[in-house]
Structure formats: structure tokens, C-alpha cells
Amino acid sequence: MKKVISAMLASLGLAWAFHSQAPAADRAILVQSTTSTANSGLYDHILPIFTEATGIAVNVVAVGTGQAIKNAQNCDADVLLVHAKPAEEKFVADGYGVKRFDLMYNDFIVVGPKDDPADISGMSDVGSALKKIAESGSVFASRGDDSGTYKAELGLWKSAAVNPAAASGAWYRETGSGMGATLNAAVGMGAYTLADRATWISFGNKGDFEIMVEGDNQLFNQYGVILVNGDVCPNVKSAEGKKFVDWLRSKDGQTAIAEFTVGGQQLFFPNAGDGAT
């Protein structure tokens, strides 16, 4: 089933396969991950290094975190790499994952048009900035797609004591799309949006948009990695999947993550600790 889904998604441009010296197909693993990690170009950088070292090819399906978790629960994954820690911990507690590990982090930012209708540019208190957006009725583009970014966004609105759903279709616009598509929509509408910094740095259609809000501790964005439980999903390639998880957490993997830059800017910061255990 995993091979069928991977092939279908590859034909749609949603899966990436990385090979080094034609690794054996039966050693290829499937990773369910996020659009933010894929859109940033991270996998293009790190996966050839892993494949060269191990002979294991990696196919990545990039969707929102919520969908990635659902796919893994359906046993359509060997490894899960996403960014919604409570949902990841539940995935493990429910028996679908072996163990969750911190892997790397970056942060979220609020971006918007240069004319800044809500007057939030330079703010570091994201709650106050969101209140100003709501009170001014300035357009805000939300992913609205059960992704890790969307989950984080909803938490920020809640902390700000604002219910954006009440303004759905008015100033609050749900795109139901990935990060790149939502950024495109925000630029087209002149709307504010919450983005992960990695996708923003890699995004090529910024127009006159700028970072408006950054630096709040609430904008911290942690990524985790989990090996899918072979006892629940017998088709999981546990040995190969564990090698990938261990490599990501090893000195070599963490160095590869740290060395990935776009325009001289580091996009992800490794924090897995002292190698695999």
C-alpha cells in the first residue's frame, strides 16, 4: 500500500525520492512529513547524504502535520517527521509510534504587506499583534488545514482571546492549503499570515511583504521524529527506519541539518542531543 501511495504522490509532484548509486528498492523507506520541511529544500540537502552513507533511499510525502499523522496511523509510513508536539506524543501514547525525539527547531513569524494596515510592524508580542489585526479588520490568511502551523496559529489566537472563526470569510480567510500556497494567497490578498521562518526564507514571491512580528517565545517551532511501531504496522521497515531516525539524531545528521542554508541563512537548528540512543 505504501508503494502505491508513494507512486501516486510522486506523479503529482508531492513525493521526493532520493537515490545514491541506485539503492535497492526493498530498502527504500517512506517518511510522512510537513510541507514546511519540503518547501524549504531541507530534504534535497540532507537525504542524498544519508543515502550515500547507508544505501537506503528515502521517499518523502509532504502534507500538513495532521494529515501526515493520519497517514502514519494508516500504516502508510516508516517514519513520521512533523511539528506538533502534543499530537506527536498522542501518536506514541496510542501505540502508533515507538518513541518521539526532538530533532530540530526554528520559529514562526507573522508576515504582511509593507503598508501594514494593522500597524503591527516591529512588535514582539504576538498576542497583541493578533488583537490589532482583529480589531482593525485587516485580512488574515490562515492555512486552515490541520497542519502544525495551523495548530500553532489557533493556539496563538486562543492566547490572544480572539475567536477568528467568527470572522471566517470576512477578514479571516482559510485557504485550506500548504504553507507556500497560503503565502501566495496572502500576497495576492494583501493579508497577514503566520509562516514558519524556513518556508518564508525560501519563498520566492514575497512582493512587498515583510516580517512584521518575531521573537515571541510563543513562536518557537519544534520538530520531532518518530519511528512507526512495527507491532501495529507489520509492513514497517523498522531496521531501515530506525537507521534514518538514528542518523538524523547523530552528529552527522545534526551537522547536515545545521549546514543547510538559503541565502546564507540557517533554516533549522538541530537540538537532538548527543546522538542516537
Average pLDDT over residues 176-189: 94
CATH fold group of domain 107-219: D-Maltodextrin-Binding Protein; domain 2 (3.40.190)
Predicted pLDDT of residue 101: 98
CA 13 to chain centre: 17
Per DSSP, the residues of 224-273 read EEEEE-TTT-TT--HHHHHHHHHHHHSHHHHHHHHT-EETTEE--EE---
Q: Do domains 2-105+223-270 and 107-219 have the same CATH topology?
A: yes
| Euclidean distance between CA atoms 42 and 256, whole angstroms | 9
Predicted pLDDT of residue 86: 94
DSSP 27: G
- Domain spans of the chain, in order of start: 2-105+223-270, 107-219
CA distances from 39 to 15, 181, 217, 266 (A): 11, 10, 24, 15
Average pLDDT over residues 51-70: 96
pLDDT tens, residue by residue, 208-243: 999 999 999 999 999 999 999 999 999 999 999 999
| Euclidean distance between CA atoms 140 and 205, whole angstroms | 18
Q: How confident is the model at residue 35 (pLDDT cuts 50, 70, 90)?
A: confident
pLDDT tens, residue by residue, 76-111: 999 999 999 999 999 999 999 999 999 999 999 999
The domain 2-105+223-270 is classified under which CATH number: 3.40.50.300, 3.40.190.10, 3.60.150.10, 1.20.140.10? Answer: 3.40.190.10
8 A C-beta contact, residue 64 and residue 178: yes
Query: CB neighbours of 36 closer than 8 A, spacing ≥ 6?
Result: 83, 148, 149, 179, 196, 198, 199
